Chains A and B, each alone.
Chain A
Amino acid sequence: MTNGDTTGNAAQPLLASRGLVKAHGRTEALRGASVELRAGEILAVTGASGSGKSTLLHCLAGIVRPDAGSVTYAGRRLEELPEKRLSELRRTDFGVVFQFGQLIPELTALDNVALPLMLAGAGRVEARARAGEWLERFGVRGQEELRPGAMSGGQAQRASLARALVTGPKVVFADEPTGALDSLSAEQVMTALAHTARESGTAVLLVTHDAQVAAYADREVRLRDGAVAPLGVTA
């Protein structure tokens, strides 16, 4: 039976943290969190508000540097990478989806999704064509030329997923991706994310407080007070 971040699996984890510590001012958000994400796996990180879930995601995604502990991605220690290399890695290997607000309001859905490709060097025509394919894959049809403000929450979030996945990342970090959605929109977003990730072999680190969202994952790690809590043994 799985029990949190059990190690000893034959497959080397794609992404792993060891003893992460991170304080925001005087509040310790992480107190020695160790987790592992294997290639192609969907891992849910659950826990109550304030348990350190989002801080853990930020550290694993190289957005925030921990005060202590290490993050290893594909054999590389993130804390040893200079900022330039780290942001390059984030652009090429990582995709990020937040609860809301990450689409650029001035750009259409299509241009939002095309942007990461253009930043990676693709021409505008090619980038827009591929962006269109990804939007269609996520069921955003007939809204390609709308700006985020004119789209429904579910449609905008699916466009965000398309943007996170369009560059073919190895890992997608999703922080409460359905937090602002009604239950049916949440189901559509999660189904699209889980299917696409499994199809393309993309690993997903899914932060959620919602058990029904966590149930889309292959495995769960629970945080309590900034560290991994035991899950309990059923057999």
Chain B
Amino acid sequence: MSTRHILLGLLASGPSHGYDLKRRHDERFPQARPLAYGQVYTTLQRLVRDGLAEVDGTASDGGPERTAYRPTEAGARELARWAGEIAPPAPFVTNEIFTKVVVSILTGGDAGTYLLAQRTAHMERMRELTAVKTAPGTDLTTVLSADYALNHLDADLRWMATTAARLTTLTAEVRTA
């Protein structure tokens, strides 16, 4: 999963420091492994190095000094590019699709359009797998493997259909959270 894009997505709603980003990440993506502080700071430094984020200011609020970051324009463009980019239709891509949808909603992106395009990519892959599976003389291992992939892609599709239908409510919920 792309930690840098998730952090860019979290920064899109306003400047934030590392501790806050880690906390919001872990809340927002409870199924994902919690981010380590070290990973957050390293990723932020790399975002700055690559011109995708910049320092917004430092504050201590009576405690240790904290540096807040904000995305640059290049960072916003990179985030939009990533959020609309189709994940390779393979089993177990759901987590990536889920992450893209949540980040899109957080940043006012077009999750509906992304889901439609991802659905089309999934259907194309399913047509390829079906052709492989039903070709005369296909061996059993290939058939079983195609079945496995087809059933997982089908599960993704059902989740995407439900999510597309829920988008209106979901958007309101995520934005007010």
| Complex Cα–Cα for A220 and B126 (A) | 12
CB distance from B73 to the nearest CB of A (A): 26
A1 interface hit (Cβ, 8 Å)? yes
Residues of B within 8 A of A1 (CB): 120
| Complex Cα–Cα for A217 and B127 (A) | 7
Bits for B5-44, please: 1 = Cβ < 8 Å to A, else 0. 0000000000000000000000000000000000000000
| Complex Cα–Cα for A194 and B161 (A) | 26
| Complex Cα–Cα for A218 and B123 (A) | 10
Given A215-B127, A215-B130, A217-B127, decide whether A232 and B116 contact each other with a Cβ distance below 8 A.
Answer: yes
B48 interface hit (Cβ, 8 Å)? no
Q: Mostly helix, strand, loop or mixed at chain B's interface? A: helix
Q: Which B110-152 residues sit within 8 Å CB-CB of chain A?
A: 113, 115-124, 126-127, 129-130, 134, 150-151
B120 touching A231, Cβ below 8 Å = yes
B134 touching A232, Cβ below 8 Å = no
Bits for A211-235, please: 1 = Cβ < 8 Å to B, else 0. 1101111101000000000111110
A195 interface hit (Cβ, 8 Å)? yes
Instruction: Tally chain A residues at the interface, Cβ within 8 Å.
Output: 20
B126 touching A212, Cβ below 8 Å = yes
CB distance from B149 to the nearest CB of A (A): 11
Given A211-B157, A215-B150, decide whether A232 and B126 contact each other with a Cβ distance below 8 A.
Answer: no
Q: Which A184-231 residues sit within 8 Å CB-CB of chain B?
A: 187, 190-191, 194-195, 211-212, 214-218, 220, 230-231
Residues of B within 8 A of A48 (CB): 161
A194 touching B120, Cβ below 8 Å = no
CB closest residue in chain B, given A48? B161
Residues of A within 8 A of B122 (CB): 211
CB distance from B88 to the nearest CB of A (A): 11
B124 touching A234, Cβ below 8 Å = yes
Residues of A within 8 A of B161 (CB): 48
B157 touching A232, Cβ below 8 Å = no
Pick from B119, B120, B161 the residue with the most CB of A within 10 Å: B120
A232 touching B118, Cβ below 8 Å = yes
Residues of A within 8 A of B124 (CB): 234
| Complex Cα–Cα for A233 and B123 (A) | 12
Question: Which of B113, B115, B126 is A215 in contact with, Cβ under 8 Å?
Answer: B126
Residues of A within 8 A of B55 (CB): none
| Complex Cα–Cα for A218 and B126 (A) | 11
B86 interface hit (Cβ, 8 Å)? yes
B116 touching A231, Cβ below 8 Å = yes
A220 touching B123, Cβ below 8 Å = yes
B154 interface hit (Cβ, 8 Å)? yes
Question: Which of A216, A230, A232, A233 is B130 in contact with, Cβ under 8 Å?
Answer: A216
CB distance from A208 to the nearest CB of B (A): 12
Given A194-B134, A195-B134, decide whether A215 and B123 contact each other with a Cβ distance below 8 A.
Answer: yes
| Complex Cα–Cα for A220 and B115 (A) | 16
CB distance from B80 to the nearest CB of A (A): 16
| Complex Cα–Cα for A119 and B80 (A) | 62
A212 touching B150, Cβ below 8 Å = yes
| Complex Cα–Cα for A217 and B128 (A) | 10
Not counting A195-B134, A230-B116, a sample of 19 additional A-B residue pairs whose C-beta atoms are within 8 angstroms of each other reads: A187-B134, A190-B134, A211-B154, A212-B130, A212-B150, A212-B154, A214-B126, A215-B123, A215-B126, A215-B127, A215-B130, A215-B150, A216-B134, A231-B116, A231-B119, A232-B119, A233-B117, A234-B120, A234-B121
List the interface of chain B (C-beta within 8 A of A).
86, 113, 115-124, 126-127, 129-130, 134, 150-151, 153-154, 157-158, 161
List the interface of chain A (C-beta within 8 A of B).
1, 48, 187, 190-191, 194-195, 211-212, 214-218, 220, 230-234
